[in-house]
Structure 1
Amino acid sequence: MTTCRSPHDPNCTADLGAQYITAIPYYAEKHQSFYEELLSQGILKPLLSCMEGMAIKEGIHNYVAPRGISSIVKYYLGDSDVFYNRQVTHINLKEGKLEVCSKSGPSEMFDAVILTMPVPQILQLQGDLKSFLNESQKQTLEATRYSSRFALALFYEAGTQINVSWAAKYIVNNPCVRFISIDNKKRCSESPEVGPSLVVHTTVQFGAENEHKDKEDVEALILDQLHRILPGLPKSTSVKCHKWRYSQVIGSVSNSPGEMTLSIHPLLVCGGDSFTHSNFDGCTDSALAVLNVFKCHF
């Protein structure tokens, strides 16, 4: 759930990851309190803009985040102390506690740790982590599979017109582009004082074929295909290309109830969409499962 800003205008934003949230009837009921809270706070609102090519199914609700999809994360972290740009490298067991080491900043000691990064990144952690894993858990985690894809954001000057009838469109029969969104139009947050933004998502196949290339080279390929699809597209003020190495889970951790507990004393738990499925409801299910583990041990 990433929202980026134009380097020329911080009010011009684009969602590089999730574009909207879909709630099927089962989860709309199961997670009703979460949806009601986010809607009441203005974090989410119903998706009303034209999404060409999107399948419409009875009973399904679609939502957008008017202030960008990252506003959901910011809302839930609002009362927490958050330290950014600390890449965890080691987890060690010391005197009955967990020592967490990062590339920047001092190591810290914790009574409990939750790991929610993609499973391959969990398995890359150094220190004592592997000693917490039995062979069955290790094999289960190693079997997890992900898709990769690229996202491209284009930012424009205020007053720029992008002359299409839709707010977002699913593209078929293109070797590169799968989805295009006029992001501010999709979120119904258009303003004459703020330039529009456009987002492109590539196909899973294109992501797999190009995941080891430099972003600059991939950016040129995507732009070429985009201009073939929208030949009259105006010139942007800036472009941002992002590679989602672990975009969506296509083979989640099997037989997992939304989490995997690696240690009880001290408590070390893995969670996230790797243990459910890659959408808002999958993340919520995992969060509730991890919470239940904490309730049982604290």
Structure 2
Amino acid sequence: MSRVLIIGAGLTGSVCACLLRRELQNKVSLVVWDKSRGSGGRMSTSRSPDYGSSSVDLGAQYISATPQYAKSHHSFYEELLSEGILKRLDAPVEGMMSNDGSSHYMTPLGMSSVVKHYLKQSGAELVFERHVTGLYRRGASWEVHGRGGEKEVFDAVVITMPVPQILQLQGDLTELLSPAQREQLDSVRYSSRFALGLFFPAGATIDVPWAVSYIANSPVIRYVAIDSRKRNTESECRGPSMVVHTSVPFGVQHLERDKEDMQPIILQELHNILPGLPQPISVKCHKWRYSQVSVSVPGCPGQMTVLSRPPLLCGGDAFTHSNYDGCVESALRLCDALKSSL
């Protein structure tokens, strides 16, 4: 049995773990490490610190399937729909630019429910708050180091971290990259943004006709969603929740500033846009340094094999594109490459 480590409990890592379990079954022992306190990555769902039943998606907001991917990834969509993890996005959306025939889906339990589904299916051992700092080749294995001094040995390693974080890893990885691979990774670019999650008391009313609105005339805010309305979870005993995303230029301009400094600026602009907004009971601010991939690895290969034996692979949306189908496509390529290496 091969012991396989997947670094990153986001969408690509979780789908990859699920596919490996289904295709290799008991031939692999799967371990997933993530530096955060829970799974999800950029598909994480945050709960209100005051009302645990209220939640908000600070990262990915909904899933859009183009006609092409709706066909090629039909089994993935059918599985999530049959489990009730995905449902059609029927709530009103204002200002959406897409008119390519895509189907749009929301997650009643939050976007992290997609990742949690795949991790559960994988049966992988999950280790959170494990920040990987280095990878060292030890004969036919990899010794992986954590920030807390942890050291464990694996037969194969799959890295799904953002590319800049991959390139910061200590050890043998960067030395094993070919000049062409290094150039490809150096070319990857990400957008950056701030996100706010607002939680309102039970009975609060947000008097707008939409659930999601793309803001066209603000230098600060690009996207606002009444998350509870988008997911159809509003009720009399549970207050509404809202998510706000800043524009990419604003995020890039203020990227190095503390999120605590940016929160009041974003809130002021929100009140300019929605002057009748009720007072929230709590606000959560998050900085997405690596929000979406703006420049992918050339050719979008889905994955990069740094070494075949012992296997060391890199994947994620940087090797495809930043949406659900891009992550699934990367996971499929990682799984194929890993099976041939093992």
- TM-score range (shorter-chain normalised) is over 0.9
Q: Find out whether 1:63 has 2:97 as its counterpart.
A: no
Contact kept in structure 1, 2:226 and 2:240, CA below 8 Å = yes
| Count of residues in correspondence between the two structures | 298
Q: Find out whether 1:234 has 2:283 as its counterpart.
A: no
Q: Find out whether 1:109 has 2:109 as its counterpart.
A: no
Deviation at 1:142, TM superposition (A): 0.7
Task: Report runs of 4+ in structure 1 exceeding 4 Å deviation.
Answer: none
TM-score (structure 1 length as normaliser)? 0.98
Deviation at 1:95, TM superposition (A): 2.6
What does residue 180 of structure 2 align with? 136
Deviation at 1:105, TM superposition (A): 5.7
Which secondary structure does the structure 2 equivalent of 1:266 belong to? Answer: coil
Letter in 2 for 1:209: Q
Contact kept in structure 2, 1:256 and 1:276, CA below 8 Å = yes
- Separation in 1 of the partners of 2:261 and 2:293? 26
What is the correspondence of 1:1-298 to structure 2 with a 5 Å cutoff?
A: 1-55=43-97, 57=99, 59-78=101-120, 79-104=123-148, 106-298=150-342
Which secondary structure does the structure 1 equivalent of 2:306 belong to? Answer: strand
CA displacement, residues 222-249 of structure 1 (integer Å, 9 cap, x when unaligned): 0010000001111111110000000000
CA displacement, residues 56-91 of structure 1 (integer Å, 9 cap, x when unaligned): 526310000000001000000012211111110010
- Separation in 2 of the partners of 1:66 and 1:133? 42
- Separation in 2 of the partners of 1:136 and 1:256? 14
Which secondary structure does the structure 2 equivalent of 1:83 belong to? Answer: strand
Any unmatched runs of 5+ in structure 1?
Answer: none
Letter in 1 for 2:69: Y
Instruction: Tell me the C-alpha RMSD between the 2 structures.
Output: 1.0
Deviation at 1:159, TM superposition (A): 1.2
Letter in 2 for 1:32: H
- Separation in 2 of the partners of 1:125 and 1:110? 17
Deviation at 1:259, TM superposition (A): 0.3
- Separation in 1 of the partners of 2:308 and 2:54? 45
Letter in 2 for 1:186: K
Deviation at 1:268, TM superposition (A): 0.3
CA displacement, residues 128-170 of structure 1 (integer Å, 9 cap, x when unaligned): 1112111111111011111000100011111111111111100
Contact kept in structure 1, 2:156 and 2:312, CA below 8 Å = yes
Cα distance, 1:238–1:133 mapped onto 2, change above 3 Å: same
Which secondary structure does the structure 1 equivalent of 2:218 belong to? Answer: coil
Any unmatched runs of 5+ in structure 2?
Answer: 1-42
Q: Alignment identity in percent?
A: 53
- Separation in 1 of the partners of 2:307 and 2:235? 51
- Separation in 1 of the partners of 2:227 and 2:324? 19
Contact kept in structure 2, 1:86 and 1:105, CA below 8 Å = no
TM-score (structure 2 length as normaliser)? 0.86
Q: Higher mean Cα deviation, 186-195 or 65-74?
A: 186-195
Deviation at 1:106, TM superposition (A): 2.1
Contact kept in structure 1, 2:66 and 2:100, CA below 8 Å = no
Letter in 2 for 1:203: S
Letter in 2 for 1:68: G
CA displacement, residues 108-135 of structure 1 (integer Å, 9 cap, x when unaligned): 1001000001100000000111121111
